[in-house]
Structure 1
């Protein structure tokens, strides 16, 4: 079995049977390419069906020596394990060499979180006198109100807006749909964009249903959203390193700190596992200190 045939079959499996999105598939294949590169560098070129557990352990050492962080190593290993599960499923191998492979130990990093004041300042920094001001305000309001991933925002469609009942339908990872509540400030900003600004744009054919468009009538790119947020952070002098995902982290953290049920937050974020959502149970040190002082009998 050669690498090209194996990777092509794995790609079809991820797309058709696992229902993965294109970005996720590309990430898996990119990680698998590293294993292929390693196999070519060996004294005897290893094909996918000839690789053993010892080879995979050497591979992990190899990517570690390249300077990759443990989190990156763990992600690559996850892709490799999925690949060998696929080969076993297709009877291309009889024994899964990755089954006993241990993941590198990783520290769970707490995400950067915006304060409520930070969110207000970023939104207030948008110049509403400019043609794209109403759109950009709606973008930030929805990122924070609904906790969307940036790809979910750029793919948001008008046909999936149910503003009369304060919900939007989101297409998440693996093409999985979920309903997310939308707050009143976000609804108001969205309605202004849709009814007062977007209606005057000449829309490119095929893009009619996308909520957020540029001046040429095409849907916005992920890169534009990143650049918008970076620019606004510079405008208000915010020193934190932030991205669209920071709004998602802040959405979840503020809900949990306010007493929201973790299962409800999991559902709104579209997490498959509750353990992914549990990262948002962190609270800042000042809050913990004030809680101890207020409630502990010997504080």
Structure 2
């Protein structure tokens, strides 16, 4: 019994018969399907006999099978290389974990190294890596982060580096939106994204800190949120939140121990960008496209300093380790009088509502208290 022909695509002989092919002269040719790669083909020997060949040109068949085997071997070798590269990533991740880096920082560093490799850098050649970094149209801050990530890689695998390139980074002044613009964005987003944004607005937390928020970190009885998983080796922080945010949080489904789901930051950021684009187009306000998670954090910090003039309090609320990072907010407070919303209160209940809404007391006239809040 003649053996089944080899698949001309991958060279495997694990094939099934796949019906007959009827030719114009009335003859038939057996069809096969490869169980390895799914490729369909006709019996090569029968195809040759149609044209007068008495025997199969086995050399041609063997040549096709040999080429297929070579291609398959190259594919296996490429797969082994990928697996080897993945093992390097795992080893580096464990090395950084032992060094005390947070998971978010580890992912950022590995992401930068993957980007460098895609752009043609040889991670085992420092000169190749530094040349690739220098040729990118990146900010000095990103280039500095890439150099630091590669320094960790070199330390992990024992690659000698003569000297690390230095990129000077000067932090620009952050752009501060109006509160009405932030509220418009929150009102137009889906409930989950809106709750995420409102939580940043009221706690001044980083997006990664809010994404790691657990249900056990929320005290619904006292309207308190505790950020127990701070980023950048900061300290846990406690915040009083509004009834509005409490109501929004209670409406979220409890599918896991995390309020916004496990590993939800990438999903939330992607959906936020698409919803922000839709809202900005609908309202005809391109300024909304400049509002991000960290922009809301900047706004909250600048408002807190404007109300208290206490830079140490702002540092504590932001979770900064260095006061230098907080001092930037002292340069953002230069508001004009027409940028405020003014409201009055004549009862204790009205006072409480205005204070909860972020209004600050200005003065009192004829028993009527005057409050204001930046637009």
| C-alpha spacing 1:152/1:225, structure 2 compared with 1 (3 Å) | farther
Indicate yes or no: 2:202 matched with 1:145.
yes
Task: Report the counterpart of residue 270 of structure 1 in structure 2.
Answer: 319
Asked if 2 retains the 8 angstrom alpha-carbon contact of 1:113 and 1:246, the reply is yes
Note the C-alpha offset of 1:11. 1.6
Question: Take 1:219 and 1:73, find their aligned partners in 2: how far apart are those partners?
Answer: 27
Asked if 2 retains the 8 angstrom alpha-carbon contact of 1:169 and 1:177, the reply is no
> Which of 1, 8, 12 is the equivalent residue of 2:94?
12
Higher relative contact order (CA 8 A, sep 6+): 1
Give the TM-score, by structure 2 length. 0.54
Task: Report the counterpart of residue 141 of structure 2 in structure 1.
Answer: 71
Task: Report the counterpart of residue 283 of structure 2 in structure 1.
Answer: 236
Structure with greater proportional strand content: 2
After superposition, the CA RMSD in angstroms is 3.7
Larger Rg: 2
Question: Take 2:282 and 2:240, find their aligned partners in 1: how far apart are those partners?
Answer: 27
Structure 1 runs not aligned, ≥5 long: 41-45, 288-299
* Structure-to-structure mapping, 1:173-188, within 5 angstroms: 173=231, 178-184=236-242, 188=243
Deviations 1:20-56 (A, max 9, x none): 21x421221233346667663xxxxx84xxx6xxx55
Structure with greater proportional helix content: 1
Note the C-alpha offset of 1:12. 0.5
SS at match of 1:247: helix
Give the TM-score, by structure 1 length. 0.66
Asked if 2 retains the 8 angstrom alpha-carbon contact of 1:147 and 1:268, the reply is yes
| C-alpha spacing 1:226/1:158, structure 2 compared with 1 (3 Å) | farther
> Which of 160, 164, 185 is the equivalent residue of 1:122?
185
Question: Take 1:225 and 1:120, find their aligned partners in 2: how far apart are those partners?
Answer: 14
Structure 2 runs not aligned, ≥5 long: 1-83, 337-375
* Structure-to-structure mapping, 1:84-123, within 5 angstroms: 84-86=154-156, 92=158, 97=161, 100-123=163-186
Aligned length: 247
| C-alpha spacing 1:177/1:26, structure 2 compared with 1 (3 Å) | same
| C-alpha spacing 1:83/1:159, structure 2 compared with 1 (3 Å) | same
